[in-house]
Amino acid sequence: MSSSSDDNDNNNDVDVDVDVDVDVDDTGLHKPNCGGGASEGGDVTMELGRIIDGKAIADAIRTEISRELIGRAADVDVVVDGIGGGKIGGRPGLAVMLVGNRADSATYVRMKQRACADAGISSYLETYPDVDGVTEEMLLDRIRRWNDDDDVHGILVQLPLPPKIDEGRILGAVNPAKDVDGLHPSNVARLFSSDTHDRTHDGERLDWTDLSSVPFHLPCTPQGCVELLDRIGCDIEGKRAVVIGRSNLVGLPVAMMLVHRNATVTIVHSRTVDARDVVREADIVIAAAGKANMVKSDWLKRGCVVIDVGINAINDSTAKRGYRLVGDVDYDGGAKDVAGWITPVPGGVGPMTIAMLLRNTYNSWKRANK
Amino acid sequence: MSSSSDDNDNNNDVDVDVDVDVDVDDTGLHKPNCGGGASEGGDVTMELGRIIDGKAIADAIRTEISRELIGRAADVDVVVDGIGGGKIGGRPGLAVMLVGNRADSATYVRMKQRACADAGISSYLETYPDVDGVTEEMLLDRIRRWNDDDDVHGILVQLPLPPKIDEGRILGAVNPAKDVDGLHPSNVARLFSSDTHDRTHDGERLDWTDLSSVPFHLPCTPQGCVELLDRIGCDIEGKRAVVIGRSNLVGLPVAMMLVHRNATVTIVHSRTVDARDVVREADIVIAAAGKANMVKSDWLKRGCVVIDVGINAINDSTAKRGYRLVGDVDYDGGAKDVAGWITPVPGGVGPMTIAMLLRNTYNSWKRANK
């Protein structure tokens, strides 16, 4: 679970230690401005150190999805606040492919399936524990059948796949409309190709102010980062945002989403000279480098908003397992006291990844039943 | 040919007023460092105002392509410096689709075909002047036949298409291996998805230091921008680069190419606050906003490298046609004297677009004959 390279994200899953109860609480939905504090010194009354409670926000989103689903689906057995009954036959379905024997992958898949069940989404699991026996053709055949299955609205290939399997070939075989991880080239290209502008694929402008309205699948972790900004009421437009890390799973897609939201975005990485000085310009910092405690308090502009995607295991003899998890930002080393808002690790971005997966699956089902 | 929005690039073609003679001269291939000057004041002996002669560089590249082609192809009737004879049967072929009656589009197509002829590349033109009569199915049928035609290595759909045609549908039908404009989602996704890193589509790392070695098609204008930096010997790695404009034809792809080349990249656009201050941080400025003379001399760090993609018509009663073309950078208003290197308009990026189109077509032919 630890990662060493700054551009490393072998796995879309980060600290998914979610409470699986559907929680109707909507804590965390404050609506102040964010990050726009004076660049140096400035307003000494600025509120600092506010925690972005990703767990509470993810729970609130999961509850929203459940409620909407109950309002629409005829075939959902979850009841929240006595609301039930629906309009669309069936219910959303997520198909999950798990290849190999990685314990962490199995845990992530279990969490995703449990989250589906809680939300009223069906899930189907296909496992291929025999790495030696599995072939690309077997996996492609399974995906093709899911592509054709009207009960399947989302297809998730748990990553990483074994090295012998061509990941690009498998991911590229998923029907883009069911690609709830947002990794198919068609979805990648639509994120990149800037449907905010006139030259869209389908002739209409997109409204990026509501990510859940985007008519194709955005990858879950970066989507969760932007959703956190929205939920704390951060006005992204015109802000300077710095994304640390340039992975195709987190750094680059979150940078594009912030561009579409009219932030002025800088991408920082391992070859950046004087990264501290660059990060200090940011009203919004997205740390997705995979380096434990890399971003120190003196890298941060006072009052900025910090979204920490990192999840790094560091040795800790006082911990039960001999290690503990920390982010890319030196939270306890002072970063928390300089930032206006900051996500903890765990309990920040991690729970959002699953919430966004549920949202993508639910949206896919809605679009299929339009 | 004038453009008003800052995110506007309706057309990949910019100032393609190329001299069509193959020129064996290689002027412009200087090899100094670039853009790394002291941020304020600093080295007063720094050389300023050097012109990046895009025309000469484009001609040199076209000559390189011709020479290589003559060395490989059995069926090429261009002879340069007495070199001829070849190893591969046939020659590269570019198929061009022109829909409608736009005079500028017809001019661009003519230039591209003439450049092909000069380089020893066959070109095939299919025109659809009757906008009322043309259908998407007709165009798709034509593209499918080109996709299957072994004599066609590049397919170019001249943009813009008439509004009644779904551009995304047409561009998406082109075989990605023949998509020499780099606009197919598969090519867009490969540029974006960062094949520099471990999680590649085909398991190998890409060498972005030589753009002509990238095994898929990069769009021509942004590729030309980076090629200009390479040809003046600009060491991109670790530099701060600012891209002004976020179009999917120029701004975003050039930003991604610079990220892959290890620059620290900031994307500036119409909603950027204090754009001047952001641009002043840059060692490398790529101006692709489509606003005449927007970037003033006091926006530039002394000694920076400026690549001006803009091509804007402004009124000029002294000019024969009543207007003249200027870039996005206020070249004559002092920018030239602050920059270390700068492209003129016309004669900067424009000629590179066609040179990169020839290169993509040539590379496509090489890959098809491997």
* Separation in Å, CA A322 to CA A313, A318, A319: 10, 7, 5
Give the nearest chain A residue to B272 (CA atoms): A238
**Average pLDDT of the segment spanning B255-274:** 96
DSSP calls for A73-125: BSS----BTTB---SBSS--EEEEEEES--HHHHHHHHHHHHHHHHHT-EEEE
CB distance B189–A194 less than 8 Å? no
Residue in B8, B197, B262 closest to A248 by CB: B197
Alpha-carbon Rg for chain A in angstroms: 20
CB atoms < 10 A from the CB of B313, how many? 16
Indicate which of B204, B267, B280 best probes the interface with A, i.e. most A CBs within 10 Å of its own CB: B267
Dihedrals phi, psi of A333, to nearest 5 degrees: -85, 15
- Residue A42 vs residue B302, higher pLDDT: B302
* Whole-number Å distance between alpha carbons of A147 and A155: 8
CB distance A192–B192 less than 8 Å? yes
Give every CB contact of residue A94 below 8 A, 6+ residues apart in sequence: A112, A116, A121, A122, A123, A124, A152, A153, A154, A155, A156, A180, A357, A361
| Residue A34 clears pLDDT 80, i.e. is over it | no
CB contact, 8 Å: A264 with chain B?
yes
Residue in B189, B197, B256 closest to A247 by CB: B197
CB distance B262–A271 less than 8 Å? yes
Find the angle CA(B148)-CA(B149)-CA(B154) to the nearest 5 degrees. Answer: 100
What pLDDT band is residue B79 in, cutting at 50, 70 and 90?
low
Indicate which of A183, A184, A193, A257 best probes the interface with B, i.e. most B CBs within 10 Å of its own CB: A193
- Residues of A identified as active-site: 112, 158, 181
* Residues of B with Cβ-Cβ distance to A201 under 8 angstroms: 166-169, 172
| Residue B4 clears pLDDT 50, i.e. is over it | no
CB distance B267–A262 less than 8 Å? no
- Residue B258 vs residue B11, higher pLDDT: B258
Residues 168-197, chain A: which have Cβ within 8 Å of B? Answer: 168, 185-186, 188-194, 196-197
* Whole-number Å distance between alpha carbons of A342 and A53: 9
CB distance A246–B238 less than 8 Å? no
pLDDT at position B13: 52
pLDDT at position A46: 82
| Residue A364 clears pLDDT 80, i.e. is over it | yes
pLDDT at position A81: 54
| Residue A85 clears pLDDT 70, i.e. is over it | no
Residue in A168, A194, A271 closest to B238 by CB: A271
> Mean pLDDT for chain A?
86
Token pair of A335 as six digits: 């970063």
pLDDT at position A7: 43
* Whole-number Å distance between alpha carbons of B303 and B33: 11
Indicate which of B6, B262, B265, B278 best probes the interface with A, i.e. most A CBs within 10 Å of its own CB: B265
**Average pLDDT of the segment spanning A59-74:** 88
Token pair of A363 as six digits: 């949206």
Predicted confidence (pLDDT) per residue in B316-344, tens digit: 999 999 999 999 999 999 999 999 999 99
Predicted confidence (pLDDT) per residue in A123-176, tens digit: 999 999 999 999 999 999 999 999 999 999 999 999 999 999 988 899 999 999
Q: How far is B176 from chain A (nearest CA, A)?
A: 12
Lowest mean pLDDT among A57-71, B20-34, B270-284: B20-34
pLDDT at position A168: 87
- Residues of B identified as active-site: 112, 158, 181
Token match 């008439």: residue?
A: B162
**Average pLDDT of the segment spanning A204-208:** 73
What pLDDT band is residue A88 in, cutting at 50, 70 and 90?
low
Lowest mean pLDDT among A36-40, A81-85, B305-309, B357-361: A36-40
pLDDT at position A75: 59
* Whole-number Å distance between alpha carbons of B195 and B206: 6
CB distance A247–B273 less than 8 Å? no
* Whole-number Å distance between alpha carbons of A246 and A76: 40
One-letter amino acid of A239:
K
Give every CB contact of residue B193 below 8 A, 6+ residues apart in sequence: A185, A188, A248, A252, B201
* Whole-number Å distance between alpha carbons of B185 and B272: 28
| Residue A9 clears pLDDT 70, i.e. is over it | no
Lowest mean pLDDT among A292-301, B72-81, B149-158, B169-178: B72-81
CB distance B273–A238 less than 8 Å? yes
CB contact, 8 Å: B297 with chain A?
no
DSSP state of A126: E
* Whole-number Å distance between alpha carbons of A210 and A227: 9
* Whole-number Å distance between alpha carbons of B284 and B115: 30
CB distance A186–B190 less than 8 Å? no
pLDDT at position B77: 55
Lowest mean pLDDT among A50-54, A90-94, B11-15, B51-55: B11-15
Residues 33-52, chain B: which have Cβ within 8 Å of A? Answer: none
Lowest mean pLDDT among A219-223, B8-12, B32-36, B132-136: B8-12
pLDDT at position A8: 40
Give the nearest chain B residue to A198 (CA atoms): B8
Residue in B203, B238, B266 closest to A264 by CB: B266
**Max Cα–Cα distance, chain A, nearest Å:** 63
* Whole-number Å distance between alpha carbons of A254 and A245: 10
Residues 103-132, chain A: which have Cβ within 8 Å of B? Answer: none
Token pair of A290 as six digits: 């995979």
pLDDT at position B34: 66
Residue in A255, A267, A271 closest to B237 by CB: A271
CB atoms < 10 A from the CB of A94, how many? 28
| Residue A186 clears pLDDT 70, i.e. is over it | yes
**Average pLDDT of the segment spanning A30-50:** 60
Percent of chain B, pLDDT > 90?
73
Asked if residue A339 lies in contact with residue A232, where contact means CB atoms within 8 angstroms, the answer is no
| Residue A330 clears pLDDT 50, i.e. is over it | yes
pLDDT at position B48: 96
Q: How far is A200 from chain B (nearest CA, A)?
A: 7
**Average pLDDT of the segment spanning A46-59:** 96
Classify residue B44 by burial, with Cβ atoms within 10 Å: 0-12, 13-18, 19+.
exposed
Asked if residue A136 lies in contact with residue A39, where contact means CB atoms within 8 angstroms, the answer is no
Residue in A186, A189, A273 closest to B238 by CB: A273
CB contact, 8 Å: B164 with chain A?
no
Q: How far is B71 from chain A (nearest CA, A)?
A: 35
**Average pLDDT of the segment spanning A10-29:** 39
| Residue A206 clears pLDDT 90, i.e. is over it | no
| Residue A369 clears pLDDT 80, i.e. is over it | yes
* Whole-number Å distance between alpha carbons of B108 and B156: 12
Report the SS3 class of residue A8: coil
Q: How far is A284 from chain B (nearest CA, A)?
A: 14
CB distance A259–B267 less than 8 Å? yes
Predicted confidence (pLDDT) per residue in B177-203, tens digit: 999 999 999 999 999 875 433 344 444
pLDDT at position A31: 39
Token pair of B209 as six digits: 């230091």
Instruction: Walk across the sheet containing A122-128 and list its strands.
Output: A122-128, A93-99, A154-157
What pLDDT band is residue B206 in, cutting at 50, 70 and 90?
confident
Residue in A185, A202, A256 closest to B186 by CB: A185
* Whole-number Å distance between alpha carbons of B188 and B217: 9
Token match 């291996």: residue?
A: B177
| Residue B76 clears pLDDT 60, i.e. is over it | no
* Residues of B with Cβ-Cβ distance to A197 under 8 angstroms: 7, 246-248
* Closest to A216 (Cα-Cα) out of A274, A248, A174, A275: A174
| Residue A22 clears pLDDT 70, i.e. is over it | no
**Chains A, B: CB pairs < 8 Å:** 138
* Separation in Å, CA B63 to CA A249, B133, B230, B310, B363: 40, 41, 17, 26, 15
